[in-house]
Amino acid sequence: MRALALTLATGALGCGDGLPPRPDLARLATLPIDAQCRAVAPRLAPCTNELIVASVRDLGDDELTKELAKELAEHDRRLDRRLTSARNGRAAALTFCLGAHSGPAFVATVVGCWERPSCADLASCLFPPAPPPP
């Protein structure tokens, strides 16, 4: 039954643009939060690294936070690998959704940002950069 609910929530057809099918928000709202997170995990999973960096930037504007975000963003280039492997991306996405950002509001934001073409765009949509101080 749960598999059927997830299929209905995420839709049966894939997208031609390479993104997984976007779930229907009204159908998602009828599911428990863990099922909602599983339904949005396919969109979050490939972007785990960008989401980690964006969520660290979202913590604050102090020098330590800026330095950590910079180090994380440069990690892939320096070591020629991702912070999280593709194999672990789905688990990381579920943890991300169920963790500090859990709740229907986060899931709704993910669905609203779904069509962003790149992981950087998705991360910026989920964690908009803070406006510069006056």
pLDDT at position 36 is: 94
Q: How many CB atoms lie within 10 A of CB 11?
A: 15
| pLDDT above 70 as % of the chain | 75
Enumerate the domain spans of the chain: 24-126
pLDDT in tens, 11-67: 333 333 589 999 999 999 999 999 999 999 999 998 888 888 888 887 777 787 778
Measure the CA–CA gap between 69 and 31, rounded to whole angstroms.
34
Q: In Å, what is the CA distance from 14 to each residue of 11, 20, 116? A: 8, 6, 16
Q: In Å, what is the CA distance from 77 to each residue of 38, 41, 53, 106? A: 30, 25, 14, 29
